[in-house]
Amino acid sequence: MNLLEAAVLGIVQGLTEFLPISSTAHLRVVPALLGWDDPGAAYSAVIQLGSVIAVIGYFWSDLFSLARGSLKAIQSKDLNNHDLKLVLGILFGTIPICILGLLLKPLLEADHSPLRSLQVIGSASIGMGLLLFAAENTGKRIRTMENLSINDGFLVGLGQCLALIPGCSRSGSTLTVSLFLNIKREDAARFSFLLGIPAITLSGLLELKELISHGLSDNGIASLAVGLITSLVVSYLAIAWLIKYLQKHSTWVFIVYRMIFGIGVLLFAFNGHS
């Protein structure tokens, strides 16, 4: 992988990680359209660390407040504290994808994995688009992060497991479940971002460790660095934009995009591309 490819993939990662359109799918489809090799699940997971750094930086004050509030609640044994409930919700919500991710890891990273096929990606994009459409039309959008429970975190975490299927989208699946739980769009997005921090970090660090253990050339290190830096910068901008966008707009633009993207990918696959 040359540095131009790494920069393009970093930009794609940054743009699509937090928008509900699937970064994994775009990191698979964009190289295919450009005639490049599939970067693989491992590389995709590692450059997601740039997105993690961006979301930590953007929500630093929120994270600090949650940590401080949770520690005080533990010291005072206040189990009804909102900060503690939110942190526990994030922790319990992370457990399902960690377990399932480890179980499916060999399949996801296998050469020519069926889960990374263009047919699966296109179908998953359309399927999640339809679910987001249903959530947008049935969700009452009356709840905020202030009244989220541990059960809410676990349920949204179960939805996050769908992100293991390329094309579903981690942010898309968590946003969809949150809307079904009647959470406001902006708060659903904020919780989705916070919930993704542990899962994306663990996945990225695990893959980075394995890449290093297999040995990285100077070019490989440079490609990772470029991918990480570009994904960090673009991710930060994407987070800021999406939070403001969902304050006044619905998710319709993403639903339409997912449908067009999914149909386009299926047509591309049926024409003999892989």
Q: Strand, helix or coil at 14?
A: helix
Query: Which segments within 76-208 are labelled E, that is strand?
Result: none
Q: Which pLDDT value is given to residue 231? A: 94
Hey, how many other C-beta atoms are within 10 angstroms of the C-beta on 106? 9
Q: Which pLDDT value is given to residue 104? A: 87
- Which phi and psi angles does 141 have, rounded to 5°? 55, 50
Closest among 1, 14, 2 to 230, alpha carbons compared = 14
Are 12 and 23 spatial neighbours (Cβ–Cβ below 8 Å)?
A: yes
Are 89 and 82 spatial neighbours (Cβ–Cβ below 8 Å)?
A: no
Query: Which segments within 22-85 are labelled E, that is strand?
Result: none
Q: Strand, helix or coil at 23?
A: helix
Q: Which pLDDT value is given to residue 123? A: 95
Check residue 251 and report its DSSP letter: S
Cβ-based neighbours of 64, under 8 Å, separated by 6 or more? none
Cβ-based neighbours of 123, under 8 Å, separated by 6 or more? 167, 262, 266
CA atoms within 13 A of residue 16's CA, in its CB half-sphere: 27
pLDDT in tens, the chain (274 residues): 788 999 999 999 999 999 999 988 999 899 988 988 888 777 787 888 899 999 999 999 999 999 999 999 999 989 889 999 999 999 999 999 999 988 988 887 776 778 778 999 999 999 999 999 999 999 999 999 888 999 999 999 999 999 999 899 999 999 999 999 999 999 999 999 999 999 888 888 887 777 777 776 667 788 888 999 999 999 999 999 999 999 999 999 999 999 999 999 999 988 876 6
Q: Which pLDDT value is given to residue 149? A: 92
**Rounded Cα gap, residues 117 and 97, in angstroms:** 21
CA 226 to chain centre: 20
Burial state string for 212-236 with b = 16 or more CB within 10 A and e = fewer than 16: eeeeeeeebeebbebbbbbbbebbb
Q: Which pLDDT value is given to residue 218? A: 67
Give the Cα-Cα-Cα angle 248, 197, 128 (nearest 5 degrees).
55
How does pLDDT run across 149-200, given as a tens digit for each residue? 999 999 999 999 999 998 999 999 999 999 999 999 999 999 999 999 998 8
Q: Which pLDDT value is given to residue 89? A: 94
